[in-house]
Amino acid sequence: MPENYVVEKTRTFESGIRLESGRLLAPITLSYETYGSLNASKSNAILVEHAWTGDAHLAGKHNEYETKPGWWDAIVGPGCLLDTDRYFVVCSNVIGSCFGSTGPASINPKTGKRYNLSFPVITIRDMVRAQKLLVDSLGVDKLLTVMGGSMGGMQALEWATQYPDSIASAVVLATTPRPSPQAISLNAVARWAIFNDPTWRKGEYKHNPKDGLALARGIGHITFLSDESMNAKFGRRFSAKDGKFDFFGQFEVERYLNYNGYNFVDRFDANSFLYLAKSLDIYDVAWGYESMSEAFSLVKAPIQFYAFSSDWLYPAYQTEEMVMCLKTLDKEVEYHLLTSAYGHDAFLLEHETFTPMVRDFLERVKKL
Protein backbone atom coordinates (compact mmCIF):
# COMPACT_ATOMS: atom_id res chain seq x y z
CA MET A 1 0.00 0.00 0.00
CA PRO A 2 1.42 3.49 -0.80
CA GLU A 3 2.59 5.93 1.85
CA ASN A 4 -0.81 7.48 2.56
CA TYR A 5 -0.91 7.32 6.34
CA VAL A 6 -3.91 5.58 7.83
CA VAL A 7 -5.78 6.72 10.91
CA GLU A 8 -6.88 4.45 13.72
CA LYS A 9 -10.46 5.24 14.74
CA THR A 10 -12.69 4.21 17.60
CA ARG A 11 -16.42 4.06 18.20
CA THR A 12 -18.12 3.51 21.53
CA PHE A 13 -21.53 1.91 21.88
CA GLU A 14 -23.06 2.77 25.24
CA SER A 15 -25.73 0.08 25.00
CA GLY A 16 -23.08 -2.62 24.64
CA ILE A 17 -24.04 -6.20 23.76
CA ARG A 18 -25.63 -9.16 25.47
CA LEU A 19 -23.01 -11.92 25.44
CA GLU A 20 -23.55 -15.61 24.76
CA SER A 21 -22.91 -16.16 28.48
CA GLY A 22 -25.95 -14.01 29.26
CA ARG A 23 -23.90 -11.16 30.70
CA LEU A 24 -24.19 -7.61 29.45
CA LEU A 25 -20.95 -5.97 28.38
CA ALA A 26 -21.47 -2.22 28.25
CA PRO A 27 -20.28 0.14 27.10
CA ILE A 28 -18.03 -1.29 24.39
CA THR A 29 -15.43 0.46 22.28
CA LEU A 30 -14.17 -0.87 18.96
CA SER A 31 -10.93 0.22 17.33
CA TYR A 32 -10.98 0.09 13.54
CA GLU A 33 -9.36 1.33 10.35
CA THR A 34 -10.83 1.96 6.90
CA TYR A 35 -9.24 2.06 3.46
CA GLY A 36 -10.83 3.40 0.27
CA SER A 37 -14.28 5.02 0.10
CA LEU A 38 -17.83 3.79 0.47
CA ASN A 39 -19.67 4.18 -2.83
CA ALA A 40 -23.03 5.91 -3.25
CA SER A 41 -24.97 2.63 -3.20
CA LYS A 42 -22.97 1.42 -0.17
CA SER A 43 -22.39 -1.87 -1.94
CA ASN A 44 -18.57 -2.05 -2.01
CA ALA A 45 -17.76 -2.64 1.68
CA ILE A 46 -15.42 -5.50 2.62
CA LEU A 47 -14.83 -6.49 6.23
CA VAL A 48 -11.47 -8.15 6.95
CA GLU A 49 -11.19 -10.16 10.16
CA HIS A 50 -7.90 -10.53 12.01
CA ALA A 51 -6.50 -13.64 13.68
CA TRP A 52 -5.74 -14.36 17.36
CA THR A 53 -3.12 -11.71 18.19
CA GLY A 54 -3.86 -9.39 15.28
CA ASP A 55 -5.31 -5.90 15.30
CA ALA A 56 -7.19 -3.38 13.18
CA HIS A 57 -3.99 -2.19 11.49
CA LEU A 58 -4.52 -4.12 8.29
CA ALA A 59 -2.40 -2.10 5.89
CA GLY A 60 -0.27 1.00 5.40
CA LYS A 61 1.48 2.93 8.14
CA HIS A 62 0.27 5.33 10.79
CA ASN A 63 3.26 7.64 10.47
CA GLU A 64 6.75 8.00 9.03
CA TYR A 65 8.35 6.36 12.07
CA GLU A 66 6.69 2.96 11.69
CA THR A 67 9.12 0.42 10.29
CA LYS A 68 6.50 -2.13 9.22
CA PRO A 69 3.14 -1.71 7.50
CA GLY A 70 -0.09 -3.41 8.57
CA TRP A 71 -0.29 -7.17 8.85
CA TRP A 72 -1.91 -7.87 5.43
CA ASP A 73 -0.52 -4.85 3.60
CA ALA A 74 0.33 -6.86 0.48
CA ILE A 75 -3.32 -7.39 -0.48
CA VAL A 76 -4.70 -3.89 0.26
CA GLY A 77 -4.28 -0.84 -1.94
CA PRO A 78 -4.81 0.43 -5.50
CA GLY A 79 -4.56 -2.49 -7.92
CA CYS A 80 -4.19 -5.05 -5.12
CA LEU A 81 -6.61 -7.86 -4.31
CA LEU A 82 -8.59 -5.52 -2.07
CA ASP A 83 -8.37 -2.61 -4.49
CA THR A 84 -8.97 0.59 -2.54
CA ASP A 85 -9.94 2.36 -5.77
CA ARG A 86 -12.91 0.00 -5.93
CA TYR A 87 -13.63 -1.22 -2.42
CA PHE A 88 -14.25 0.26 1.02
CA VAL A 89 -12.19 -1.99 3.30
CA VAL A 90 -12.83 -2.14 7.04
CA CYS A 91 -10.81 -3.94 9.71
CA SER A 92 -11.90 -3.95 13.34
CA ASN A 93 -10.02 -5.05 16.43
CA VAL A 94 -12.07 -7.68 18.28
CA ILE A 95 -13.44 -7.23 21.77
CA GLY A 96 -11.22 -9.06 24.26
CA SER A 97 -8.08 -7.80 22.57
CA CYS A 98 -5.72 -5.08 23.75
CA PHE A 99 -5.39 -2.82 20.72
CA GLY A 100 -8.07 -0.25 21.43
CA SER A 101 -11.19 -2.40 21.67
CA THR A 102 -12.77 -3.25 25.02
CA GLY A 103 -10.95 -6.11 26.73
CA PRO A 104 -9.56 -7.25 30.08
CA ALA A 105 -6.96 -4.45 30.01
CA SER A 106 -9.70 -1.82 29.65
CA ILE A 107 -11.05 0.22 32.53
CA ASN A 108 -14.27 -1.13 34.03
CA PRO A 109 -16.53 1.95 34.35
CA LYS A 110 -18.15 0.48 37.46
CA THR A 111 -14.89 0.25 39.41
CA GLY A 112 -12.52 2.68 37.71
CA LYS A 113 -9.96 -0.14 37.54
CA ARG A 114 -8.85 -2.59 34.87
CA TYR A 115 -11.29 -5.43 34.28
CA ASN A 116 -8.57 -8.10 34.46
CA LEU A 117 -10.25 -11.40 35.32
CA SER A 118 -13.60 -9.74 36.06
CA PHE A 119 -13.92 -9.38 32.30
CA PRO A 120 -16.52 -11.88 31.03
CA VAL A 121 -15.61 -14.87 28.90
CA ILE A 122 -16.42 -13.96 25.30
CA THR A 123 -17.05 -16.05 22.21
CA ILE A 124 -16.27 -15.55 18.54
CA ARG A 125 -19.99 -14.91 18.09
CA ASP A 126 -19.78 -12.10 20.66
CA MET A 127 -16.95 -10.53 18.67
CA VAL A 128 -19.09 -10.55 15.54
CA ARG A 129 -22.12 -9.21 17.41
CA ALA A 130 -20.00 -6.21 18.41
CA GLN A 131 -18.75 -5.80 14.83
CA LYS A 132 -22.34 -5.73 13.57
CA LEU A 133 -22.87 -2.57 15.64
CA LEU A 134 -19.84 -1.01 13.97
CA VAL A 135 -20.85 -2.00 10.44
CA ASP A 136 -24.36 -0.66 11.00
CA SER A 137 -22.95 2.61 12.35
CA LEU A 138 -20.91 3.01 9.15
CA GLY A 139 -24.13 2.93 7.15
CA VAL A 140 -23.47 -0.45 5.53
CA ASP A 141 -26.54 -2.67 5.25
CA LYS A 142 -24.82 -5.47 3.34
CA LEU A 143 -21.12 -6.30 3.11
CA LEU A 144 -19.81 -7.34 -0.30
CA THR A 145 -17.71 -9.92 1.52
CA VAL A 146 -16.29 -10.76 4.92
CA MET A 147 -12.83 -12.31 4.74
CA GLY A 148 -10.44 -13.78 7.28
CA GLY A 149 -8.00 -16.54 8.16
CA SER A 150 -7.72 -18.68 11.30
CA MET A 151 -9.73 -16.88 14.03
CA GLY A 152 -10.67 -14.43 11.30
CA GLY A 153 -12.20 -17.31 9.36
CA MET A 154 -14.25 -18.28 12.40
CA GLN A 155 -15.63 -14.74 12.50
CA ALA A 156 -16.49 -14.95 8.80
CA LEU A 157 -18.41 -18.18 9.49
CA GLU A 158 -20.34 -16.43 12.25
CA TRP A 159 -21.32 -13.63 9.89
CA ALA A 160 -22.54 -16.24 7.39
CA THR A 161 -24.70 -18.05 9.95
CA GLN A 162 -25.77 -15.27 12.32
CA TYR A 163 -26.25 -12.41 9.86
CA PRO A 164 -26.98 -14.18 6.56
CA ASP A 165 -28.79 -11.15 5.08
CA SER A 166 -25.92 -8.80 5.94
CA ILE A 167 -23.25 -10.33 3.68
CA ALA A 168 -23.13 -11.07 -0.03
CA SER A 169 -20.26 -13.56 0.33
CA ALA A 170 -17.54 -14.88 2.62
CA VAL A 171 -13.91 -15.92 2.11
CA VAL A 172 -12.67 -18.33 4.80
CA LEU A 173 -9.00 -19.32 4.99
CA ALA A 174 -7.15 -21.83 7.22
CA THR A 175 -9.89 -22.28 9.75
CA THR A 176 -11.95 -24.93 11.51
CA PRO A 177 -15.58 -25.47 12.54
CA ARG A 178 -14.27 -26.36 16.00
CA PRO A 179 -10.69 -26.71 17.32
CA SER A 180 -9.49 -30.27 17.83
CA PRO A 181 -8.35 -31.71 21.18
CA GLN A 182 -4.77 -31.29 19.95
CA ALA A 183 -5.27 -27.58 19.27
CA ILE A 184 -6.97 -27.13 22.65
CA SER A 185 -4.17 -28.99 24.44
CA LEU A 186 -1.51 -26.72 22.94
CA ASN A 187 -3.43 -23.67 24.13
CA ALA A 188 -3.77 -25.31 27.55
CA VAL A 189 0.01 -25.63 27.87
CA ALA A 190 0.38 -21.99 26.80
CA ARG A 191 -2.08 -21.01 29.54
CA TRP A 192 -0.10 -22.97 32.13
CA ALA A 193 2.98 -21.01 31.17
CA ILE A 194 1.24 -17.75 32.08
CA PHE A 195 -0.56 -19.11 35.15
CA ASN A 196 2.74 -20.41 36.55
CA ASP A 197 4.56 -17.12 36.13
CA PRO A 198 4.61 -15.74 39.71
CA THR A 199 4.24 -12.18 38.41
CA TRP A 200 0.87 -12.98 36.80
CA ARG A 201 -0.81 -12.76 40.24
CA LYS A 202 -4.11 -14.23 39.01
CA GLY A 203 -4.41 -11.49 36.45
CA GLU A 204 -3.71 -8.61 38.83
CA TYR A 205 -0.20 -7.86 37.54
CA LYS A 206 1.35 -4.42 37.40
CA HIS A 207 3.74 -5.43 34.64
CA ASN A 208 3.17 -8.01 31.93
CA PRO A 209 4.32 -11.47 33.17
CA LYS A 210 7.04 -11.57 30.55
CA ASP A 211 8.50 -15.05 31.10
CA GLY A 212 5.12 -16.80 31.10
CA LEU A 213 3.76 -14.82 28.16
CA ALA A 214 6.95 -15.26 26.11
CA LEU A 215 6.80 -19.03 26.66
CA ALA A 216 3.09 -19.09 25.79
CA ARG A 217 3.78 -17.22 22.57
CA GLY A 218 6.63 -19.58 21.72
CA ILE A 219 4.30 -22.57 22.05
CA GLY A 220 1.70 -20.87 19.89
CA HIS A 221 4.26 -19.84 17.29
CA ILE A 222 5.33 -23.44 16.75
CA THR A 223 1.75 -24.31 15.78
CA PHE A 224 1.76 -21.63 13.07
CA LEU A 225 4.76 -23.18 11.28
CA SER A 226 5.39 -26.56 9.65
CA ASP A 227 8.12 -29.21 9.72
CA GLU A 228 9.10 -28.30 6.16
CA SER A 229 9.28 -24.56 6.76
CA MET A 230 11.29 -24.97 9.98
CA ASN A 231 13.75 -27.27 8.22
CA ALA A 232 14.16 -24.77 5.40
CA LYS A 233 14.53 -21.76 7.70
CA PHE A 234 16.67 -23.25 10.47
CA GLY A 235 17.70 -26.82 9.74
CA ARG A 236 19.75 -28.14 12.65
CA ARG A 237 22.07 -25.15 12.65
CA PHE A 238 23.57 -24.38 16.01
CA SER A 239 23.90 -20.77 17.05
CA ALA A 240 27.22 -19.30 15.97
CA LYS A 241 27.31 -17.42 19.29
CA ASP A 242 27.33 -20.61 21.36
CA GLY A 243 29.53 -23.62 21.74
CA LYS A 244 27.84 -26.92 20.94
CA PHE A 245 28.91 -28.33 24.29
CA ASP A 246 27.80 -25.24 26.20
CA PHE A 247 24.92 -26.48 28.40
CA PHE A 248 22.90 -23.35 27.63
CA GLY A 249 23.90 -23.26 23.97
CA GLN A 250 20.99 -22.98 21.54
CA PHE A 251 19.99 -24.06 18.09
CA GLU A 252 19.00 -21.24 15.76
CA VAL A 253 15.36 -22.30 16.03
CA GLU A 254 15.57 -21.87 19.81
CA ARG A 255 16.98 -18.37 19.44
CA TYR A 256 14.20 -17.54 16.99
CA LEU A 257 11.47 -18.67 19.40
CA ASN A 258 13.13 -16.83 22.27
CA TYR A 259 13.36 -13.60 20.28
CA ASN A 260 9.79 -13.76 19.03
CA GLY A 261 8.43 -14.69 22.45
CA TYR A 262 10.02 -11.79 24.31
CA ASN A 263 9.33 -9.36 21.48
CA PHE A 264 5.65 -10.32 21.76
CA VAL A 265 5.60 -9.33 25.45
CA ASP A 266 6.23 -5.71 24.48
CA ARG A 267 3.08 -5.50 22.36
CA PHE A 268 0.45 -7.83 23.80
CA ASP A 269 -1.38 -8.12 27.11
CA ALA A 270 -1.24 -11.47 28.91
CA ASN A 271 -4.87 -11.45 30.04
CA SER A 272 -6.03 -10.64 26.50
CA PHE A 273 -3.94 -13.57 25.27
CA LEU A 274 -5.73 -15.84 27.74
CA TYR A 275 -9.23 -14.58 26.94
CA LEU A 276 -8.75 -14.88 23.20
CA ALA A 277 -7.27 -18.38 23.61
CA LYS A 278 -10.40 -19.33 25.54
CA SER A 279 -12.57 -17.91 22.75
CA LEU A 280 -10.71 -20.07 20.23
CA ASP A 281 -10.95 -23.22 22.32
CA ILE A 282 -14.69 -23.01 22.97
CA TYR A 283 -15.53 -22.07 19.37
CA ASP A 284 -18.00 -24.32 17.60
CA VAL A 285 -19.88 -23.13 14.53
CA ALA A 286 -22.75 -25.36 15.70
CA TRP A 287 -22.98 -23.69 19.14
CA GLY A 288 -26.68 -23.38 20.01
CA TYR A 289 -27.78 -25.73 17.21
CA GLU A 290 -28.44 -29.45 17.03
CA SER A 291 -25.70 -29.92 14.43
CA MET A 292 -23.38 -28.22 11.97
CA SER A 293 -25.99 -28.94 9.32
CA GLU A 294 -28.61 -26.96 11.25
CA ALA A 295 -26.20 -24.03 11.69
CA PHE A 296 -25.22 -24.03 8.01
CA SER A 297 -28.86 -24.26 6.91
CA LEU A 298 -29.01 -20.55 7.75
CA VAL A 299 -26.32 -19.63 5.22
CA LYS A 300 -27.49 -17.64 2.19
CA ALA A 301 -24.26 -16.21 0.78
CA PRO A 302 -21.71 -18.11 -1.34
CA ILE A 303 -18.60 -19.08 0.64
CA GLN A 304 -15.12 -19.64 -0.72
CA PHE A 305 -12.90 -21.85 1.46
CA TYR A 306 -9.12 -22.29 1.46
CA ALA A 307 -7.02 -24.88 3.28
CA PHE A 308 -3.25 -25.33 3.15
CA SER A 309 -1.53 -28.68 2.78
CA SER A 310 1.00 -28.24 5.61
CA ASP A 311 -1.38 -26.68 8.14
CA TRP A 312 -1.42 -29.11 11.06
CA LEU A 313 -3.17 -26.74 13.48
CA TYR A 314 -6.40 -26.59 11.44
CA PRO A 315 -5.78 -29.33 8.85
CA ALA A 316 -7.57 -29.53 5.54
CA TYR A 317 -9.98 -32.28 6.57
CA GLN A 318 -11.64 -29.83 8.97
CA THR A 319 -12.36 -27.39 6.15
CA GLU A 320 -13.52 -30.25 3.95
CA GLU A 321 -16.04 -31.29 6.60
CA MET A 322 -17.65 -27.86 6.33
CA VAL A 323 -17.56 -27.89 2.53
CA MET A 324 -19.25 -31.28 2.36
CA CYS A 325 -21.91 -30.20 4.84
CA LEU A 326 -22.70 -27.07 2.80
CA LYS A 327 -22.80 -29.04 -0.45
CA THR A 328 -25.22 -31.52 1.09
CA LEU A 329 -27.44 -28.56 1.90
CA ASP A 330 -27.14 -27.34 -1.72
CA LYS A 331 -25.41 -24.15 -0.61
CA GLU A 332 -23.10 -22.28 -2.96
CA VAL A 333 -19.60 -23.25 -1.87
CA GLU A 334 -16.15 -23.31 -3.46
CA TYR A 335 -13.07 -25.06 -2.05
CA HIS A 336 -9.36 -24.80 -2.79
CA LEU A 337 -6.66 -26.93 -1.16
CA LEU A 338 -3.38 -25.08 -1.73
CA THR A 339 0.01 -26.74 -1.61
CA SER A 340 2.25 -24.86 0.80
CA ALA A 341 5.26 -25.45 3.03
CA TYR A 342 4.41 -22.57 5.36
CA GLY A 343 1.95 -24.31 7.65
CA HIS A 344 -0.92 -22.43 9.28
CA ASP A 345 0.67 -19.04 8.52
CA ALA A 346 0.46 -19.67 4.77
CA PHE A 347 -2.62 -17.47 4.47
CA LEU A 348 -0.52 -14.51 5.65
CA LEU A 349 2.71 -15.37 3.83
CA GLU A 350 1.55 -16.65 0.44
CA HIS A 351 -1.27 -14.36 -0.62
CA GLU A 352 -0.27 -14.81 -4.27
CA THR A 353 -1.54 -18.41 -4.14
CA PHE A 354 -5.14 -17.40 -3.51
CA THR A 355 -5.31 -13.84 -4.89
CA PRO A 356 -6.45 -14.82 -8.44
CA MET A 357 -9.27 -17.05 -7.15
CA VAL A 358 -10.49 -14.52 -4.57
CA ARG A 359 -10.42 -11.76 -7.20
CA ASP A 360 -12.53 -13.86 -9.58
CA PHE A 361 -14.89 -14.79 -6.74
CA LEU A 362 -15.47 -11.12 -5.84
CA GLU A 363 -16.15 -10.27 -9.48
CA ARG A 364 -18.80 -12.99 -9.64
CA VAL A 365 -20.38 -11.88 -6.37
CA LYS A 366 -20.62 -8.27 -7.60
CA LYS A 367 -22.72 -9.48 -10.54
CA LEU A 368 -25.23 -11.38 -8.42
Cα Rg for the chain, rounded, in angstroms? 20
Q: Can you tell me the distance from the alpha carbon of 311 to that of 348, in angstroms, rounded to the nearest whole number?
A: 12
By annotation, the residues acting in catalysis are: 150, 311, 344
Q: How far apart (Å, rounded) are the C-alpha atoms in residues 232 and 158?
A: 36
> Which residues does 78 contact at the CB level (< 8 Å), separation at least 6?
2, 84, 85
CA separation for the pair 295, 16 (Å, rounded):
25
Buried b (16+ CB within 10 A) or exposed e, 40-49: eeeebbbbbb
- Greatest C-alpha distance within the chain: 68
Whole-number Å distance between alpha carbons of 229 and 12: 42
Tell me the C-alpha to C-alpha distance, in Å, between residue 237 and each of 17, 52, 152, 256: 51, 30, 34, 12
How many Å apart are CA 95 and CA 276, to the nearest integer? Answer: 9
